[in-house]
Amino acid sequence: MKKVVMFAGLFVFMMILSSQASALCVDISEANLRKGPGTKYEKSWEVFKYMPFEKVSKKGNWYKVKDVDGDTHWIYEKIVTTKYQCAVVKVDKANIRKGPGTNFKKKASSPAFKYDAYRVDKIQLPWVKITDEFGDTGWIYRTLVWIQ
């Protein structure tokens, strides 16, 4: 029985590591996404710090990534990181609160809008503590964001 529990725990741990290994976050204030692996390709989207992506593949110094909508783009490897998780709002509007619950007041920066990106500081289900590119923190309901 102990072996089964240990194997199950190891399996879950490996799944977490493999999913995090494919997660990338923009690590600079602004980044251009491209339609192909290089600056000669047309810009497909301009994003800001903490925008999360799922890594699909790599070609040279470029990652092919998938965004919150499932669209694919290319991004230069030196402007993304795997050091932390990031979240992006996936609904039209989402309240940001001072604490993990609806009994906490909304932050002055609330609401967040679709495609606003944040660094994930803590997950305390069903809430996520986030930090924006200016260092402001708050809490957002987990189902309203896509986390990578």
Please report whether residue 6 resides in a domain. Answer: no
Last residue of a domain, one of 81, 102, 127: 81
How far, in Å, are 1, 11, 28, 93, 103 from residue 119 at the CA level? 39, 27, 12, 18, 23
Query: Is the alpha carbon torsion for 52, 39, 59, 66 positive or negative?
Result: positive
Please report whether residue 47 resides in a domain. Answer: yes
Is 110 found in the same domain as 76? no
Is 141 found in the same domain as 90? yes
Please report whether residue 135 resides in a domain. Answer: yes
The model's pLDDT over 33-59, given as tens digits with 9 standing for 90+, comes to 999 999 999 999 999 999 999 999 999
Torsion, Cα of 4, 7, 13, 16 (10° steps): -90
* Number of domains within the chain: 2
Is 103 found in the same domain as 131? yes
The model's pLDDT over 90-141, given as tens digits with 9 standing for 90+, comes to 999 999 999 999 999 999 999 999 999 999 999 999 999 999 999 999 999 9
The model carries a pTM of 0.84
Instruction: Print the domain residue range for 115.
Output: 86-147
